[in-house]
Amino acid sequence: MQGSLPGCLLMSLSAKKSSASLLRRTATALSQWVDSDFCPDGAENMRNEPDRVDWVRVMPFVFLHAGCLGVIWVGASPFAVWSAVALYFIRMFAVTGVHHRYFSHKTYSTSRFGQFLLALFAGTTVQRGSLWWAYHHRHHHQHSDGPEDAHSPHVHGFWWSHIGWITSRRNFPTDYSKIKDLAKFPELVWLNRFDLVVPILFASAIFGLGQTLAHFAPGLGTNGWQMLVWGFFVSTTVLFHGTGCINSMAHLMGRRRFKTSDDSRNSAILAFITLGEGWHNNHHRFQSSTRNGFYWWEIDPTYYGLKLLSLTGFIHGLKPVPQSVLEEGAHADHHASVAAAQKSALAHPQYSTLRRVMPTAAAIAVATATASPAVMLQKKSDAAVHKDVSELAHELKAREIKNPPVI
Ligand SMILES: [Zn+2]
Ligand SMILES: [Zn+2]
């Protein structure tokens, strides 16, 4: 009994310590809703923690998904639904053209004010700040499909690479030391730190637009709540999953033109969903180019949009794909088609045999055509037989009439 007292005391102290730690952890997560850079234990320590979902921290993300259920109460109107579709594609352009091709890879240039406007635009995508996005994406390129890659489907599985990794505590802090070219702009760091400000303003603007339309254009059959649900919650949730497809599926689905050290792939389907990001193997081969679709048949709407934007002078210095990379790709395509033809000949030998016997088949066809009089003769002879039988039947009938049978 005497020996168990210190044990109980120890257990009680340990319980108190763990509940204090839980409280501290919860308070930290709640504070991070407002200030993403709030890390009382140090960002480096947080990054070194094992992967674990931080449920308190991800509540806004859960709320975003739950908001889609609002369609049950607000209903739908063509205007609200089409607004959701338009806002998906407009903001997908912000994800690919701004978060990715500007902040992550600097594939074109703009002024400092232009850069700030781009960051505001990208903030409406609700995918945290541009600096957080750029840091994690550069990290992905550095460690693609290796153990350090935060969202490799080959290392962590499909669901973790699609959605799980952004809920993990260790992936919340931005490592500013790895993005010094961006971290030197305090206005960008401020937007990154308070990354809920732009989404809240954006959602409020959509709600305001809906209320205004309900008042001035009641024929559209929409209102603030309906526009908020469709234009913000539904559109943003689908946008998140469209973007997530690149992390999860662009390393699983499609064709590998370039033999990169990772398992990135090119997929036309993913390129359609993500306005050109589906040419992911191309991108892993050469990241500095503004275009991901390297050839004219690889549709890349983000590049076309950026090209148009460059005509206004708002952006400039779009970086091309080097000729050497284009030639490397053309050679790879040629070898791939030769290999595919050989593989097909091996897999379906009957087709190649058919090709060999085709001249013989043609000769048989010619021979049949020349033999047609014989066939006609045969037909004539058949007709004569039928005629003879018919005549015989008539003769028998005539005989029966002349000499009826005795019953
Ligand atoms: Zn990748
Ligand atoms: Zn990239």
Report pLDDT digits (tens) over 264-285.
999 999 999 999 999 999 999 9
Expressed as residue numbers, the domain containing 95 is 25-248
In a domain, 317, yes or no: no
Say how many Å lie between the CA of residue 158 and the centre of ligand 2: 19
In a domain, 367, yes or no: yes
In a domain, 110, yes or no: yes
Are residues 354 and 224 located together in one domain of the fold?
A: no
pLDDT given for residue 5 in this prediction: 53
Are residues 244 and 120 located together in one domain of the fold?
A: yes
Pick the ligand that lies closest to the CA of residue 136: 2
DSSP state of 100: I
In a domain, 260, yes or no: no
| CA atoms of 363 and 367, how far apart (whole Å) | 6
> What would the pLDDT profile of 272-323 be if each residue is shown by its tens digit?
999 999 999 999 999 999 999 999 999 999 999 999 999 999 999 999 999 9
pTM, rounded to two decimals: 0.80
Say how many Å lie between the CA of residue 143 and the centre of ligand 1: 10
Pick the ligand that lies closest to the CA of residue 137: 2
In a domain, 390, yes or no: yes
Q: Are residues 225 and 210 in contact, defined by beta-carbon separation less than 8 angstroms?
A: yes
For the chain, residues with pLDDT lower than 70 are 1-14, 349-407
Are residues 95 and 235 located together in one domain of the fold?
A: yes
In a domain, 232, yes or no: yes
pLDDT given for residue 21 in this prediction: 81
Are residues 244 and 358 located together in one domain of the fold?
A: no
Domain stop point among 232, 248, 264: 248
In a domain, 2, yes or no: no
pLDDT given for residue 329 in this prediction: 96
Say how many Å lie between the CA of residue 293 and the centre of ligand 2: 13
Are residues 241 and 129 located together in one domain of the fold?
A: yes
Q: How many domains does the chain have?
A: 2
Q: Are residues 174 and 188 in contact, defined by beta-carbon separation less than 8 angstroms?
A: no
Crossing angle between the packed helical segments 323-347 and 349-370, to the nearest 10 degrees: 70
Phi, psi of 16, deg, nearest 5: -60, -40
pLDDT given for residue 380 in this prediction: 40
| CA atoms of 287 and 300, how far apart (whole Å) | 15
Domain stop point among 203, 225, 248: 248
Are residues 40 and 162 located together in one domain of the fold?
A: yes
Pick the ligand that lies closest to the CA of residue 260: 1
In a domain, 199, yes or no: yes
Residues 6+ apart with CB under 8 A from 33: 57, 59, 60, 196
